[in-house]
Amino acid sequence: LQNAGVKVPPRLLWSRLHPVTCTSQCQVVVLFFSVPGQMADAIAKRLSQMTTSVWNKHRGGSLKVIECPLQLGGTAREFPTCNDATALALDYEVSEEGKEPETAVLFFQADGQLITKEGLQILAKDPRGNGFPWRVAGLSDKDVRLLRWGCSGLARAAMKQGTQADHGRV
């Protein structure tokens, strides 16, 4: 995709979330980029409720929320914090240099693949985490195989037609 001009966000590496660690039960990681204020407080409350709901439904710590404070101050929260918040915010285009940062929520699969940068929508539409574990929207392996098969068949037909045109049989 990068060769086609599409910017692909980097995979999230646990080493960048220092000093936070993850257990093997973790299925979804939420980065909560916070700016002190009422909005961040409300989002933190929603994330806390979602974490509790997912914990109760799935019997364990399958959802990990990590706070990435973009400014000092504000309310102390229950979530672990990451030391590399500013660099992560720039990498995932949550904020831009020279601009005022905004509160944002990103969801990742445990392997570091970005699920969505629109985490606020998940919080609004699914506050109890009923859709957990959310997955990256994309094609299944079966769909990819079908597309490859179709494309190769189309390529063979085009080559055959081109050969016939070269010999005057079209």
What's the pLDDT score for residue 96?
83
pLDDT value of position 7: 66
**pLDDT for position 141:** 58
Q: What is the pLDDT of residue 29?
A: 92
Contacts of 38 (CB under 8 A, 6+ apart): none
Beta strands in the chain (DSSP E): 28-34, 63-69, 104-109, 114-116
Task: Determine the Cα–Cα distance for residues 154 and 145; give it in Å rounded to an integer.
Answer: 14
Residue 117 DSSP label: S
Residue by residue, DSSP assigns 67-84 as EEESSS-S---SS-B-TT
Q: What is the tens place of the pLDDT at every residue in 118-158?
A: 999 999 999 888 888 887 766 555 665 676 777 777 767 76
> What does the pLDDT read at residue 41?
92
pLDDT of res. 98: 82
Across the chain, mean pLDDT equals 82
With bands split at pLDDT 50, 70 and 90, how would you rate the model's confidence at 167?
low
In the predicted model, what is the mean pLDDT of residues 69-84?
85
